[in-house]
Structures are given as C-alpha cells and as structure tokens.
Amino acid sequence: MIEAKNVSMKYGKNGQYALSDISFFIDRGEFAFFVGSSGAGKSTLLKLIIRELTPSTGCLKVFNRDVGRLPRQKLPYLRRNIGMVFQDFRLIESRTVYDNVAFAMMVIGSPQREIHKRVPQVLTLVGLEDKTKAKVCDLSGGEQQRVGLARALANRPALIVADEPTGNLDPGTTLDIMNLLRSINQRGTTVLVATHNREIVNLFKKRVIYLDGGRMVGDEQEGFYTHDH
Amino acid sequence: MIISSIGYVLSESFKGLFRNRLMCITSTGVVAVTLLMLGIFMLLSLNVAHITDQVKEQVEIVAYIDDQASSNTVAALRQKLESNPGVLEASYVSSEEHMERLRRQLGSVLEGYDTELDNPLLASFEVRAMVPENVAVLAAEIESYPGVSEVFYGQDYVESLFSVTRVLQLLGLTLMVGLAITAVFLISHTIGLTVMMRKKEIAIMKYVGATNWFIRWPFILEGLLMGLVGAIIPLVALYYLYQYALDWVAVNNLAFISMLPLQEVILEVGRYLLPLGVGLGILGSGFSIGRFLKV
C-alpha cells in the first residue's frame, strides 16, 4: 500500500535534510505508528504521503502510484482515498457537526442522497449521533476530534493518516480517540499515526517506525517506544 | 453527480455571499465606485465626440472657379469633384447666388449698387469631405484642378479643432485605461481579502480531494454576481445624473450644447460597464483564489 525507497526530503535548495534515506513498506490493513521527538521528521513523512510535499530524492509509492510524479490534476483523486486527521482538527467552527462531515462529501460531488445516508452512519461510528446539529465551536476538544475522524471516514478512504491526533487532548480523551482509530483499522482501513505519546504506543503494541533527526532508526512489529529511541 | 455539483456550486455561492456579506458589500462598493467614475468619464467623452462630430460636419471647402473658365471646364470640374472618392458632396454656387447671400447678410449697405451689372463675386463649388480630418489634403488636390482659382477652408480653425479633439481623445483613453487598471487592482485586493478569510475552508477542500475547479466555481460565481451588481448600481446612478444634466442644459438655455439622448447614451455606456464589471469580478476572484489552491 505504501512503499518508500531511499526517500529524502530537503526544505529549500540549501536547507537541511528533514528526512534522509527512508525506506519501508506498509501493507494494506496495517496499523503503524511513526514516533520520534519534535523535528524528527514525522510530519514531513506524512505530508509526503498525502503529497502536500514531494520527495527531493527517492521514490514513494502510495496505492502503487509514485506520488512524486503524480500530475497535479490527479492529486484530488489520490486524496479522496486518504482520510486526514490533524492535531488542530481543522474544522469549520461556525458550522454544525453534520455540515462539517457533509462538506467533505459535497466538495467531491457526492449525491445528496448518499450524503444523507452516510453522514449519520459515520457520526454514529464516532459516537456523535446526538450532536449532529451542534456547532463545532460548542464542542469539547475530544468531540471536535471525533468530528475530524468522522469527516476523514466520510468518503470511505482506504487509508487514514493522522498527524498527532491526540496532541491537544487530555489522557482520557486520547485513549477514546485511539480506540476509535483501532476499531476503524479492524474494519480493514490502513491507519498511520504520527505521535510522540509513549503510553499510547506502548499500550497498543502495533508496528512502530522510529525517526530521529530525519533518519529512520528502527522498525518493529509490536514495538515499544522507550527512552532508548 | 453533475446536477448535485451544480446545486452545490450555486448554493455555496449564495451562502458565501451571505456569510461574508460585509466583505462582499465592500467589494461590490469598490466595483461600483470605480465603474461610476469610468461611466462619468465615458458620458463626457461620448458627448465631446458627439459635439466634435457635429462641428466636423460643418467643415467645408469652398473652391472658387476662375472667371475665365468656360462652361465646359465647369462641367468637367463638377464631374471630377463628384468622382473623387474623398468627396462626400459638391454643390455649385453661382456668382448670382453668392451676391444674393451677401445681400442678405449686409442688407442696406448694398442699396443703390447695381449688383446685376457689376458682380465681382466668383462662382464656386462647396465641397464636403468624406473624412473631415483630410480636408487639408483634399483642398490642396482640388486647388490643382483646372478652372479652380482659389481654395478656402478656414485652415486655422479646422486644424486647431482637430488637434483639440485628438488631445481630448488621447486624454480620455489614458484616463480610462488608468481607471480600469486601478479597478482590477482594487477589486482583486478586496476579493482577495474575502478569499483569505476562507483559506481554511479552501485548505480543507483540498485535503478531502476537491478538484481546483470545484473550489474555484463558487468564488467565480460570487465574483460575477458582485461585478454585475457593481455595474448595475453606477448605471442607475448615471441614468439619473445624465437626466439631471440634460434638464440643467435645457433650463439654462444652453441649447447650443447638443447632447446625446438619454436612452442611447446609457445603453452605450451599459454595453461597456456590464461586461467590464462582470469581467473584473471574475478576474478578481480568479486571481485571488489561485494562491490558495497550492496545498
């Protein structure tokens, strides 16, 4: 599903390497953590996967397509297969929960009928079926991230990419959101999570890819995130 | 899918206008004010052109015929003038007719003077040029025709009239181009602010896989509507302003200022302002949104 071969990423012409010589393969249906301290290159790696950035050298394949060579006009169709979850939620605060999720379907041209059917489904999945008409700005952080997750799921993506999804949440809410991501994964969706939350990584016992200073320093199935890394 | 997309674009455009009504009113206001200035200038220059045209029509060449010329020469001269492509019309005025005109102008001064016996006035052809600006060249050409003794066309008057018209036209064009450029700049700037306030929405749309055109359409439609309203407002204002000007000219007995009729002039200005407003609106939003699509 995702295959990186000697991927390097440099910001600007004479800038420092944010990532250097990264290689890995993530299969369909996997759940993987990208871990490392701030500046390790986790976010850059996710941005490469969603093609917000393109690799300076190396080859990165997502859904068997080299995203570095993907023509601009094909980008929207790649993104429709990826659900994105952000640390700062990136919701439209002035609109309702329903509208935020429906928006993601509307802007790719889904028919109204489909939207009416699908939005309540995903809101039930994330446990917000009672808040459909609430405005996003009136929700708690945890609830806002659930809306973010519902939006990411609305278009039935094959891959969920979450960049520090619990970075702004308290420990209890963090666990709720992570459990939701796990159950989404159990339904067959590939999930990638960038985080520096050791407790969560150690609790979940999933695949862990370690980054440090832009280099990949480890890749373990059922890995642990200890101070050694 | 296409129908639901069209529905989305239309409803988003109207919702967008409503949600950002303050910015939209500002943008529309900028379009309206700029087009109003442009419109006022167009009204002025259309009328100046109209008045100049009327004066030009009165420009004529008088070609005096040699008093030794035979009737054959005069007939040949008429033939030559009428077949000249630069001549709009040529009419013969006999020496008697000239005397008659003079008598009418001078009245009692000529009393007791036997004009039938002693008429010093020459017969002439009065020629109107096809293109009034070419009157000097045409006059020189006519002067060389056999049987013509002298040509007169009010050289100084005609030449200064044409140079004034040229300066006015050049000034008008410069001003209009200047105003149009200012308008594009102001509008794209104001609409740019509207777009900026919604850059988060645009980024989200990009992340969930909306195509660039899908994102652009509602903004472009909004720009179009703002431009359209921004052109209609000054047109209505110009209609009443021009009517006021016409009334003022009539009340003050300034009938020698011949102005174009109201309907005709507003239609003419509208033919430019409406597409200009719509075009400015579309261009303004199109330019502004381009920057935010690179996510």
pLDDT digits (tens), chain B, 295 positions:
566 677 777 777 777 777 777 777 888 888 888 889 888 888 888 887 787 777 777 778 888 888 888 888 888 888 888 888 888 888 888 888 888 888 777 776 667 676 666 777 888 888 888 887 778 888 888 888 888 888 888 767 767 777 877 887 788 788 878 877 777 777 677 767 777 777 888 888 888 888 888 888 888 888 888 889 999 999 999 999 999 998 888 888 776 667 888 888 899 999 989 998 898 888 877 777 777 776 5
Which pLDDT belongs to residue B171? 83
* Residue showing tokens 């928006």: A103
Closest partner residue to B214 among A78, A92, A107, by Cβ? A107
DSSP structural state of residue A213: T
CATH of the domain at A109: 3.40.50.300
HSE value, Cβ hemisphere, 13 Å, CA-based, for A139: 27
Contact between chains at B204 and A104 (C-beta distance less than 8 A): yes
Q: Is residue A125 part of a domain?
A: yes
Give pLDDT tens digits for A159-208. 999 999 998 888 888 998 999 999 999 999 999 999 988 889 999 999 99
Number of structural domains chain A divides into = 1
Contact (CB, 8 A) for A36 and A210: yes
pLDDT reading at A84 higher than 90: yes
Contact between chains at A79 and B215 (C-beta distance less than 8 A): no
Which pLDDT belongs to residue B283? 82
Provide the shortest C-alpha distance from residue A96 to chain B (in Å). 14
Give pLDDT tens digits for A121-144. 999 999 999 999 999 999 999 999
Which pLDDT belongs to residue B11? 78
Which pLDDT belongs to residue B295? 55
Q: Is residue A135 part of a domain?
A: yes
Which pLDDT belongs to residue A227? 64
Q: Which residues of A122-131 are buried (b: 16+ CB within 10 A; e: fewer)?
A: bbebbebeeb
Which pLDDT belongs to residue B242? 93
* Residue showing tokens 């010589």: A21
In angstroms, the CA B188 to CA B209 distance is 26
pLDDT reading at A24 higher than 90: yes
Taken in order B6, B7, B12, B17, the sign of the CA dihedral is: positive
Provide the shortest C-alpha distance from residue B285 to chain A (in Å). 19
* Chain B residues near residue A92 by CB distance under 8 angstroms: 200-201, 204
Q: Is residue A169 part of a domain?
A: yes
Which pLDDT belongs to residue A122? 93
Among B62, B86, B88, B90, smallest CA distance to B76 is for B90
CB pairs under 8 A between A and B: 65
In angstroms, the CA A229 to CA A210 distance is 7
Whether pTM exceeds 0.90: no
- Span A29-50, mean pLDDT? 92
Kindly indicate the confidence band of residue A22, based on its pLDDT and cuts at 50, 70 and 90. Answer: very high
- Span A76-103, mean pLDDT? 92
Closest partner residue to B4 among A52, A84, A111, by Cβ? A111
Which pLDDT belongs to residue A3? 95
Which pLDDT belongs to residue B220? 86
Contact (CB, 8 A) for B35 and B277: yes
Q: Is residue A140 part of a domain?
A: yes
Please report which helix (H) or strand (E) contains residue B88, including its range.
strand B87-93
In angstroms, the CA A99 to CA A135 distance is 9
In angstroms, the CA B168 to CA B183 distance is 22
Closest partner residue to A77 among B204, B207, B209, by Cβ? B209
Q: Is residue A5 part of a domain?
A: no
Contact between chains at B204 and A109 (C-beta distance less than 8 A): no
Q: Is residue A21 part of a domain?
A: no
Which pLDDT belongs to residue B174? 86
Give the 3-state secondary structure of residue A151. helix
Q: Is residue A82 part of a domain?
A: yes
* ipTM of this complex: 0.85
Closest partner residue to B208 among A52, A94, A104, by Cβ? A104
Contact (CB, 8 A) for B281 and B187: yes
Contact between chains at A79 and B208 (C-beta distance less than 8 A): yes
What's the order of all strands across the beta sheet hosting B61-65? B87-93, B124-129, B61-65, B148-152
Which pLDDT belongs to residue B115? 64
Which pLDDT belongs to residue B235? 95
Which pLDDT belongs to residue A46? 94
In angstroms, the CA B89 to CA A125 distance is 90
Average pLDDT, chain A: 91
Q: Which domain holds residue A182?
A: 28-39+77-220
Size of chain A, expressed as the number of residues it contains? 229
Which pLDDT belongs to residue B125? 87
* Chain B residues near residue A90 by CB distance under 8 angstroms: 200, 203-204, 207
Q: Is residue A192 part of a domain?
A: yes
Contact between chains at A79 and B8 (C-beta distance less than 8 A): no
pLDDT reading at A145 higher than 80: yes
